[in-house]
Structure 1
Amino acid sequence: MHSVLWGNDLLTWSIAASIAIATCVLLYGVKVLVVRRLEKFAAHTATWLDDLTIRVLSATHPLFILLMGLYAGSHWLTLPAKNTTLMSHLAIATLLLQVARWGDVAVHGWLHFYRTRRAGQDAAAATSTAALGFVARTVIWAVIILMILDNFGVNITTLVASLGIGGVAVALAMQNILGDLFSSLSIVLDKPFVVGDFITVDDLAGNVEYVGLKTTRIRGLGGEQIVFSNSDLLQSRIRNYKRMQTRRIVFGIGVTYETSKQQLRAIPGILREVVEAQPQVKFDRAHFKSYGASSLDFEVVYIVQSPDYSVYMDVQQAMNFALFDRFEEEGIEFAYPTQTLHLANPEIRLVRERPEPELKLASRP
């Protein structure tokens, strides 16, 4: 019995099906074989490239293997030109979608390995991966979609031009969102701060918790979460205390005007001795600065060789104790707000005179 289906007999269909099955088995076998060999190889290496390759190859979708097998078997069949062209377009579209999936997995895997490898050295890894991953994936899928449309005969030149005009309109309508997006990229590339840094923005301070595409979140000193838009954040004055290497400290003290000339001249030396006696501290200067309203003012400048605020406070506390002891030994008194009233003539006495009452006698006639 000689049966014909869509212009091909059963033998031809059997051969085409065999080719399709063989192609599927071959592609799947190659995938499994290569992945297993790479897994054995990766177990003895420290590089992340082989691990990334395994991730990419493991992302090969079974539907892609099936469609490639059907496309290979269709070449044995005698099909109308229209159907042959359609099969060719579908095969190319399937291949492009699989390439997009490979690219997406490759970007995700690379960013994951980059974040893991640099997490202990560069805290910016957590900041940059989100934005870079979003941009890279968007570009990959946009290019693949345009290629698929071009494969099916769509005039992408006109489409791209239309998208450009529409993009301008969308950009005008989404200025704030796009501004925050580009500000996020600026934060990622320029890295004025990263997750974990302690920063102050105007009069707000806290640790950076998250840098997103639109907002940056900071955990305030009071425990509250402070949310900034990325555009507003970059337009503000940011102080990043995490990147301090040293602390320059300026503090002043005042002594009373009753301090003698010898004591006054000895104070800068006392201040220098006290500062230089502290560990992790570099003395800069100590001077008799000015005549205050109720004190003789001195200014001291020193540099703490550590960015840790606790270290600075420990040093300042030790210096305060030492200065108190030294001034007590030298008989120098710390000043405090006082006012002295000087009278021009202290002998003047105020006397209040009271007039005596008049005595009037009435006379009788």
Structure 2
Amino acid sequence: MIAFLEHTYFGNTLIRYLVFIIIIIIAAVVGKIVFYISRNVLQKKAARTKNRIDDLLVQTLEKPLVFLIFIIGLSIALKTLTFSSSADTFFGNVVEIILTIDIFWFVIVFIDALIVNYVAPLTAKTKSDLDDVLLPVVRKIVKVTITCLAIIIIFDNFGYDVTSLIAGLGIGGLAFALAAKDMLANLFGGVTIMTDKPFKLGDRIKIESYDGIVEDIGLRSTRLKTLDGFQLVVPNATIANSILENVTKEKSRKVKMNIGVEYSTSMQKMKEAKKIIEEIVIKNEDTDDKSIVSFNMFGESALNFLIIYWIKNLDNILNAQHNINMEIKRRFEKAKINIAFPSTTVYLKK
């Protein structure tokens, strides 16, 4: 049996391969033990303290520490085997790469946990929505930055020229910025909306030919629910560069309309018609106590009254218009004042 283990394969005996496997297994077992201690002992002790930082440290260090034990075991196990100089250099670089990944894994998770547990509660207390929207972006930027740093270190371990790599990334970033100018325009438009606050969630706005309720404000686009029930996605750059009407911020809605009566209407009936309209508008509970009623035009087939009033109850605009129009029609019929319609009178001369 011992003689069999002395057989050599790829420059190493079977005993050396067996020792290699045993060391890896021991490292895995130790890692499991450390994981159990961390999960069932250290976390419970950290939870008893008032300081939150030790809880985060234990939670974020748990898995990277287990992986570190495996890396240490792999490094020790590799030393039991004999390799050529090139293979020895290769495996050494592999171990360094894995170690670099493990370290930056811990850094990313720990910094992200600090942001979530310390920075996020602070932004939640502020009145501005800008920090709440930018926080996820900051988290992603931090992760990408640390990941890029880890990649640069890995390439440096393999002997690549890091300086030329960084220069290449700079040129690539410039090319990306040029290609993504629309995306950047939307991004800056989103920041403008957050800082300038022309509207907020739940506001009804009109932009270009669209009218809807704001459901979501993102960094790239804003989502509206139109009055027809459709969802509309508007790029933030479009909003930032367009004339926008915030209907929700209106104190009252101005209504302008014309009513024409027949040319056969007497002067007394004209005065009565004006009085009727003024009374109806003032008595309506949804309107301001002001109105403009004026006989302003001799139309082609009617004597036109210009009517202007303001509805203060913005939740009942259509109902208020309906009630006013119905009451005008009813009162005109009662007073025998005829509303005109387009007509042509033809005179035949004998």
Structure 2-normalised TM-score? 0.64
Deviations 1:300-335 (A, max 9, x none): 222222221xx1122222222322233234332212
Matched residue, 1:318:
323
Matched, 1:174 2:186: no
1:166 partner amino acid: G
Matched residue, 1:206:
212
8 Å Cα contact 2:297/2:303 also seen in 1: yes
Matched residue, 2:4:
none
Whole-angstrom distance in 2 between the partners of 1:105 and 1:259: 80
Query: Match of 2:308, SS?
Result: strand
1:132 partner amino acid: L
Which structure has the greater CA radius of gyration? 1
Matched residue, 2:252:
246
Matched residue, 2:106:
98
Change (3 A) 1:341 1:57: farther
Q: How many residues align?
A: 301
Change (3 A) 1:262 1:59: farther
Matched, 1:300 2:307: yes
Whole-angstrom distance in 1 between the partners of 2:118 and 2:317: 41
Matched, 1:61 2:61: yes
- The Cα shift of 1:263 comes to 2.6
**Counterpart selection for 1:334 from 323, 334, 339:** 339
Change (3 A) 1:242 1:140: same
Change (3 A) 1:150 1:65: same
Query: Match of 1:61, SS?
Result: helix
1:102 partner amino acid: F
Taking the TM superposition and a 5 Å limit, the aligned residue runs for 1:74-93 are: none
Query: Match of 2:314, SS?
Result: coil
Matched residue, 2:264:
258
2:260 partner amino acid: G
Matched residue, 1:45:
none
Whole-angstrom distance in 2 between the partners of 1:128 and 1:205: 28
Matched residue, 1:353:
none
Matched residue, 2:140:
138
Change (3 A) 1:104 1:259: same
- The Cα shift of 1:271 comes to 2.0
8 Å Cα contact 2:282/2:290 also seen in 1: no
8 Å Cα contact 2:64/2:102 also seen in 1: yes
Taking the TM superposition and a 5 Å limit, the aligned residue runs for 1:1-365 are: 31-35=43-47, 37=48, 56=56, 59-65=59-65, 97-108=105-116, 129=132, 131-145=133-147, 162-288=168-294, 289-308=296-315, 311-343=316-348, 346=349, 349=350
Whole-angstrom distance in 2 between the partners of 1:110 and 1:249: 51
- The Cα shift of 1:161 comes to 5.3
Change (3 A) 1:146 1:321: closer
- The Cα shift of 1:299 comes to 1.9
Structure 1 gaps of 5+ residues are 1-16, 42-48, 71-86, 350-365
Whole-angstrom distance in 2 between the partners of 1:110 and 1:30: 21
Whole-angstrom distance in 2 between the partners of 1:24 and 1:224: 51
Whole-angstrom distance in 2 between the partners of 1:259 and 1:186: 57
Change (3 A) 1:285 1:105: same
Percentage identity across aligned positions?
Answer: 26
Change (3 A) 1:24 1:204: closer
Change (3 A) 1:172 1:280: same
Deviations 1:172-204 (A, max 9, x none): 122223223333333333343444443333223
Query: Match of 2:291, SS?
Result: strand
Structure 1-normalised TM-score? 0.62
Query: Match of 1:321, SS?
Result: helix
Whole-angstrom distance in 1 between the partners of 2:114 and 2:179: 34
1:34 partner amino acid: A
Structure 2 gaps of 5+ residues are 1-26, 71-94
Query: Match of 2:255, SS?
Result: strand
1:62 partner amino acid: E
Q: Which has the higher helix share?
A: 2
2:113 partner amino acid: V
1:315 partner amino acid: A
8 Å Cα contact 1:149/1:156 also seen in 2: no
2:300 partner amino acid: A
